[in-house]
Amino acid sequence: MSLISWGMYPKIKNQKFSLRDTKSLHEYIDNTSEFIPFGNGRSYGDSAINENILYCKNYNNFLEFDEQNGILTCQAGVLLSEIVDSVVKRGWFLKVTPGTKLITVGGAIASDVHGKNHHIEGCFSESVEEFTIMLPNGDTKVCKKGDELFYATCGGMGLTGVILSAKLSLKKINSQFIKQTTIKTKNLKETFEAFENHKEMPYSVAWIDCLAKDEELGKCLLMVGDFADDGNLEYRSKMKLGIPFNFPSFALNKLTVKAFNWLYYAKAKDGISKQKVGIDTFFYPLDAIGNWNRIYGKGGFTQYQFILPKEHSYEGLKEILTKISASGKGSFLAVLKLYGKENKNYLSFPIEGYSLALDFKIEDGLFELLSALDEVVVKFGGRIYLTKDVRVSKETFEKGYPQIEKFREYRRENNMDKKLHSLQSKRVQI
């Protein structure tokens, strides 16, 4: 059975080789024309899809844990969920985590993922003390911050080698609960004011109604929070409810999305409300629903995530939300986040500003809409997130990533471009 991305698009036939040990990996690299590493299949697009796939999830042993200092060493196939399950009860948590814990450590490094605290803590690579990687020539290297290989690999979409293990620094906590404040805004102006008024909070994220129009354009529910200090560390993962089959494609349409958005916004109290919620509820709400990607139907979906520089974020988001609302191709999952300064990694996504992520069902007219949104993103100096992308053009991609030639040159000089390729890398020519 062929492996596919979380977006279930595109679907191609591929051969899977499971990473078991370094000896068989070395032989696989020697005998395979080209391939791409694949973790738990949670990338939305085609960044981990090729005709030959190196399946890394089962390479997942914990190697060492310095509980005193919160330093964890593990193989690259370990899931973030397995780390959370193991360390929260010991008073530790991930310094940086994305909106799902069902990704591998290797995938987190390759995508240089970020979370609700980028404006404070930066990307996942900030927590990476070092990693071990097998290069396309079969050499194994230990890579530390400051190495060019570090800058190329973190955010490099698996195109520099096979990450084998990593040493991660964790965050000290004293509770499994988050003190959450929810701020209900009436329009985009209020949304930006709310973000700025709460920018000192460690964690912040907003759900935005992308089908709202006119004076309600950009209304949102902004959730900000920080860990409680109650000493309760008795964390257990939430039980999953599963989606057993692909929904019919007509089930998700403008009317159902509009109804969901209305209900979700209406249930929140006006103004500001406070509550205490668990780690899973605050950080990983969708992980509680197994196979939630099936709600988009067998044709699949894509997530469109872009970021705009802070000085252009309001104007750019207003234009983009207006185009989405007019198209009727709304998303019930529309996430707005505030970001801090960009790092030195060649292809890391974040820059200082605001990002919006939207899920769209694959259907007629969608890619034309997204191409129109690309033009706005480029006009305001923004960029597209490769981990979520399945269709951006080489030209649009290049305009957002000024260090792309450094990355290409590094790949060429080290013969990485001979072995490591994905459908995405061929499309945008990286």
DSSP-derived secondary structure for 97-125: --S-S-SBHHHHHHHT---TTHHHH--GG
At residue 332, does pLDDT exceed 90? no
DSSP-derived secondary structure for 191-260: HHHHHHHTTTSSEEEEEE-TT--GGGTT-EEEEEEEE--S------PPPPEE--SPPPGGGSSHHHHHHH
- Domains of the chain listed by start with CATH number: 177-393 (3.30.70.2520)
At residue 180, does pLDDT exceed 90? yes
pLDDT of residue 266: 85
E strand or H helix at 383: strand 383-384
DSSP-derived secondary structure for 263-290: HHHHHSPSSEEEEEEEHHHHH-GGGGEE
> Counting beta carbons within 10 angstroms of the beta carbon of residue 234, is it exposed (0 to 12), middle (13 to 18) or buried (19 or more)?
exposed
Mean pLDDT taken over the chain: 95
E strand or H helix at 162: strand 162-172
* Helix 366-379 and helix 310-327, axial crossing angle in degrees, nearest 10: 160
Cα gap 351→309, rounded to integer Å: 7
DSSP-derived secondary structure for 337-374: EEE----S-TT----SEEEEEEEEE--TTHHHHHHHHH
305: pLDDT confidence band, cut at 50, 70 and 90? very high
Q: What is the pLDDT of residues 205-242, one digit of tens each?
A: 999 998 899 999 999 999 999 999 999 999 998 767 78
Reduced to 3 states (helix: H, G, I; strand: E, B; else coil), residue 298 is: coil
Query: Do the Cβ atoms of 60 and 45 come closer than 8 Å?
Result: no
Cα gap 284→204, rounded to integer Å: 13
Query: Do the Cβ atoms of 301 and 207 come closer than 8 Å?
Result: no
Length of the chain: 430
Tokens 């490769």 belong to residue: 386
Tokens 């995938």 belong to residue: 107
Q: Return the structure tokens found at 207.
A: 């759900």
Average pLDDT over residues 171-188: 98
Q: How far is CA 183 from the centre of its chain?
A: 24
Tokens 């989405």 belong to residue: 324
Reduced to 3 states (helix: H, G, I; strand: E, B; else coil), residue 1 is: coil
Tokens 């990002």 belong to residue: 355
> Counting beta carbons within 10 angstroms of the beta carbon of residue 274, is it exposed (0 to 12), middle (13 to 18) or buried (19 or more)?
exposed
Query: Do the Cβ atoms of 367 and 325 come closer than 8 Å?
Result: no
Q: Return the structure tokens found at 328.
A: 């009727």
pLDDT of residue 311: 98
pLDDT of residue 248: 82
183: pLDDT confidence band, cut at 50, 70 and 90? very high
Torsions phi, psi for 120 (to 5 deg) = -110, -50
DSSP assigned state of 12: -
Q: How many CB atoms lie within 10 A of CB 129?
A: 13
331: pLDDT confidence band, cut at 50, 70 and 90? confident
Calculate Rg over the CA atoms of the chain: 21
At residue 149, does pLDDT exceed 90? yes
Task: Summarize the chain as % helix, strand, coil (round to 5).
Answer: 35, 25, 40
Tokens 């492996």 belong to residue: 3
56: pLDDT confidence band, cut at 50, 70 and 90? very high
Residue 2's contacts (CB-CB under 8 Å, 6 or more residues apart) are: 11, 12, 13, 14
At residue 258, does pLDDT exceed 80? no
pLDDT of residue 177: 98
pLDDT of residue 63: 98
39: pLDDT confidence band, cut at 50, 70 and 90? very high
At residue 93, does pLDDT exceed 80? yes
163: pLDDT confidence band, cut at 50, 70 and 90? very high
DSSP assigned state of 391: S
pTM, rounded to two decimals? 0.96
Q: How many CB atoms lie within 10 A of CB 172?
A: 11
Reduced to 3 states (helix: H, G, I; strand: E, B; else coil), residue 3 is: coil
